[in-house]
Chain A
Amino acid sequence: MSKLLDKAKDLATEIKTHWHTPAEGKYVPYKEYKDVVFAVGSNYAGSKVLEYIGFWSSCYLIMHHYKLPYLTFSVIGILNMPLGYISALIWWFVCDNLGFLPKKTERKLYFVYALMMIFGISTILFDYSMLFDQTSSFIRYLNGLEGMNATACFKTFGTHFLYTGWVGARNIFWRKKLLPKYGRYKYSLYCDVIPKCVMVILIGWLPVYNIPDVATRVWVANLLFATYNVFGFANNLEICTKSISPNLQERILVRSYPVKISHFFNTIVGIIMPAIIGMLRYEWADINVYRYVIPITFIILAIFTMKFAGKIQERIPQPPVEKKVQIKFWDGMFGVLHNKYLLINTIKDLIDALGNGMLPFTTILYFYTFRLSGLPYSLIVMLISFAGTPPDLLSPYFLKRFSYKQIMIFYQLTRAIGNALIAAAMWFCGDNLTLCGTICVVVMFFMEMTKTVPTTAGHDMDVRIRDYQMYLSGERLESFSGVFGWFTGPITSFVGLIIPLMLLKYGFNSNWDVLFIDASRRNIIVVPLIVDVIGFVLMTIPYFFWDYDSKKQNMVMEVLKRRAEVTEKKAAEEGETVSGGYIG
């Protein structure tokens, strides 16, 4: 007991001593740990609140109020695919040069983006489908697409141009303006937070879902949500904490304690919000959820986020932004293609695409099988999500005790076993809601328990891959790594149609009430789950080739520090004013 007390006293002294200045060999003072709790907590909870709003079929707003056909989302994906490839090129080029481009290139890009926006706006104002023969096979094909017609297809296509142009131009403008001051991970919060709040309010209040014609509803909703998506509010600050220190042990400590503690904000919001929603007359189906509950919650969290965002720092050893390596387009492409570990991740993601298009079975289980709402819903969600907290606090131990390869293989196998058990429970005891529900909840509890350590390992693996890329190419090439998506995208988009088409056969379209039909619900959940199980087993294979250990990582960090040190020294010798660098 006294030993424990002594340890607690030592810890208190340690925290007090290094509250403002970090200990030797460390980079983060304890005061920043406290700021991480509030900043990441509110940012994470805010980003989670936004998961209730989105242009995807599983969003309750879309499924209950908009009633858009399920396959329409795949159709929109295909329409957007060609432009996605072209716009990605420019996007990577801009992002991986941190927005700092030669003046001439910058002007050219602004011009291209402006043209895209003009074309996009023109498609919204005019009906381009009228330029074609209305009896042609092309127009007939477009008219026959699920939930669409030729007019809606052209307007959806144009909306993507408008969105791409708008986002692209903002990306150059704001990166250049804000990145040197706020760093690469959190700058976007500063320019996006206010318009995001406005859009969250508009989404609830604009009665787009009342448009009677489905094709018109599709394109107008697509336009509304595209505008909403122009402004981000992702989990930026948690991403920032992944690079909070060049010291690997310290990174893990920050992720295991302050970051995990910060997630309690989300747990609290996750209890209160559904409880309030449960009090509304139509519960989740009540439009007031989107008019009041979500906007108010989000705006409060956004205010907290912005109050604390400035108090946490990223500390990637890097030359000052003005002195950084300029990445040419093809160098960026080949740079990422030479990263073996990105390739491993890509193959894993490719296999993971087998589960694309799957409905969120936990949502179906809670809403359609058990009819949960209000506090009981909050409590069961909290119980399951809490299952991950105790093992998460032990993450540093597990990450030391086991190799990343072992952890990730274990993770995929537990997913496969867990999903197989749930599928079996739904299939064989689906009629007995109590038994089936108990099995599902227990399995989900264990799946959550075994998820958190691999998730932490996964985050660290991602950061290590970026560090390794920086060693290989002089930049992290986070965006250029999307080139793998170019190769996998065509396959995943096709494979991703398998489940939606299967679900359509089982009756799942724009009316989610089909899930109240027991037999249909069983097929809609179980069949995709089985496909997912196969995917998880196959996903173990790529990890057998992972050999990037801590020793290699530490050596890579030494190289990066040395590069930063030498570059900054040279810049100082040349008398240049520089910003945004970090030696570590």
Chain B
Amino acid sequence: MKIAGNDILIQSLINEGVEYIFGYPGGAALHIYDAIFNQKEMQHILVRHEQGATHAADGYARATGKPGVVLVTSGPGATNAITGIATAFMDSIPMVVISGQVQSHLIGTDAFQETDMIGVSRPIVKHSFTVDKQENIAQIVKEAFHIATSGRQGPVVIDVPKDITNPDELFDFNYPDKANIRSYNPPVKPENHQVSRAVDAILTAERPVIYAGGGTISSNASNELRELNELIDFPVTNTLMGLGVYPGTGKRFLGMLGMHGTYQANMAMHNADLIIAVGARFDDRITNTPEKFAPKAKVIHFDVDHSSVSKIIEADIAVFGQVKDSLQAINNHLRSRKDEINKEKLSPWHQQISEWREMHGLDHQLYKNNSDEHPILPQAAVQHIYQESEGKAFVTSDVGQHQMFAAQYYHFDEPRKWINSGGLGTMGFGLPSAMGVKLAYPEEEVICITGEGSIQMCIQELSTCSQYKLPIKIFSINNLALGMVKQWQDMNYEGRHSSISYEDSLPDFVGLAESYGHVGIKITKNSELREGIAKALAIKDKLVFVDIYVDPNEHVYPMLVAPNGSLKDMWLGKGEKT
């Protein structure tokens, strides 16, 4: 059968099993949109801004593990997508972005809506392609999906000049079975000698910590991690990106580590004699000053990416391969040496950790104080959301104080439930990513915990939610300022609050939500908090925007002391240091 380039492109996506494509039309993409019009297998979601398209596809990918797919036009369509592509790149999220391009003969002439998308996106993609002729479309799509979803995952851009999708020229279409890229070969299985060295270290450790990150989730290795810890009973901490990969309510769970990690997690890391890093990359929000990081610890590093290992912290033992395969190999090896496992030996260490937790652990009972004498604490708002949603919701977030409170006080027992921009820290991520999650799981509760600053960065997507009837629950932790910036100004700039408030220019969020056909709820007092949240969650068929006014002076603690601090140097409260 002979079909045109635009149909070849769309049929290739359908062959890849794409259910949703998030996008925004424009001149250079019009032939492609015509091909979308003529098919039924895949639904196009029309967003209100291309940044929203990339975040929605990203949310879909994080929740499902399948690649998110985006379609934008050339020029401003492509550049608007850049923030979302960078967000996915930093967090290693599989995504395929198709950008329209001006016609081949116009490239390089500064034509209308021409941007060198390959050049602009080069530092923030795993790979990119320009389609040179129609005969190569199918192969390029196959390779793009293969690259996006294998090894260390990431976004791939396919730039498609308009003439390539011309509906008047017909070509043979056969979708290839597999991508053969002779120069690309990500590691899969670990080597035996690495595995046995790792097991030796595990068996002799006295103060071990498992430090698991987002790579464990990408590799779908949550079960293997849990199996490992049934065998060895080590304390476990998760990065911001790893939350949920180990049960948040589990007995051995220390909470998140790093900049706003728990006291016990940071102390355990600092004092450990063995750190098992699983799909984590020791970024600066984790290590604090690298030279002072965990001075007594031997490091085992499991990763699929050679370049992540010993980049910041030197690994003593490196296990390369898909984390899932590596953990399986470790578990099998450990089972064969079961009589050497001595859990008793760890009790002084567990005891020490309990003491740390008792001393300065987070207060998980804050929500029980419903007196109206005090303003609402943002932490208590998150605790109520956790209680009322029974800890089972998908939670997306934006960036700032509310994000850290959500990470600290919403306990995720399953992977892929916590959806946030960890690496790039992109404000505006929360609402559109929630749209992607809700489309993937229409029956599940999808909550966006945001702030009045972040939500305004992609608030136009309230219209998209109305069009596609996406009953997301938005909880905006409203402290009337850019809270995290304000906290830094309080702590490092003697309280000089430069450009963090909007004076009296915030919209009436309830009225704004209602103008899009949604429901709005405003909460200003502790006594209204539980009931207001429960009411929002009880509305199943509509998006609800809950505007929660909280204490504008609250800070996020613990907080690592920087610069020049180690993981044991933390602010525990205003003016209170370890």
A and B bind: no
